Amino acid sequence: MTAPLIASRADVATDAPARYAKQLVAHLGRKLTFTAEGTAWTTTIGAATAHIVVGDGVLTLLAAGEEEQAVARVEEVLGSHLERFGQRQELTVTWSRSGG
């Protein structure tokens, strides 16, 4: 029996979602392999999956996995980097969890 999926989502309002997504993927891509599909990128961080999705005026970050710690790691990696890159715009990443 597999553990229930834990999903986490953060919608970050910004006037430059594509630029921040590109910056995240370029920076994290030094250590991780991303696959792109349209305006979305996916990678695996540890035992969880990370998605970066460009929307209209919003950058959506998604984390999913079976282990609490793995999902928390994705939240930390994506969230801390985006907040650092968006420091001038005062971007704040607030995660919302479901499942588990």
Residue spans per domain, the chain = 6-99
**First-residue to last-residue Cα distance in the chain:** 14
Supply the pTM of this predicted model: 0.94
- Please list the pLDDT of the chain residue by residue as tens digits (100 residues): 566 699 999 999 999 999 999 999 999 999 999 999 999 999 999 999 999 999 999 999 999 999 999 999 999 999 999 999 999 999 999 999 997 6
Let me know: does 86 contact 16? Beta carbons within 8 Å.
no
* Cβ-contact 6, 65 below 8 angstroms: yes
Secondary-structure percent of the chain, ordered helix, strand, coil, rounded to 5: 30, 35, 35
**Top-level CATH class of 6-99?**
alpha beta
Q: How far is CA 58 from the centre of its chain?
A: 12
Q: Give yes or no for a contact between 74 and 97, defined as CB atoms under 8 angstroms apart.
A: no
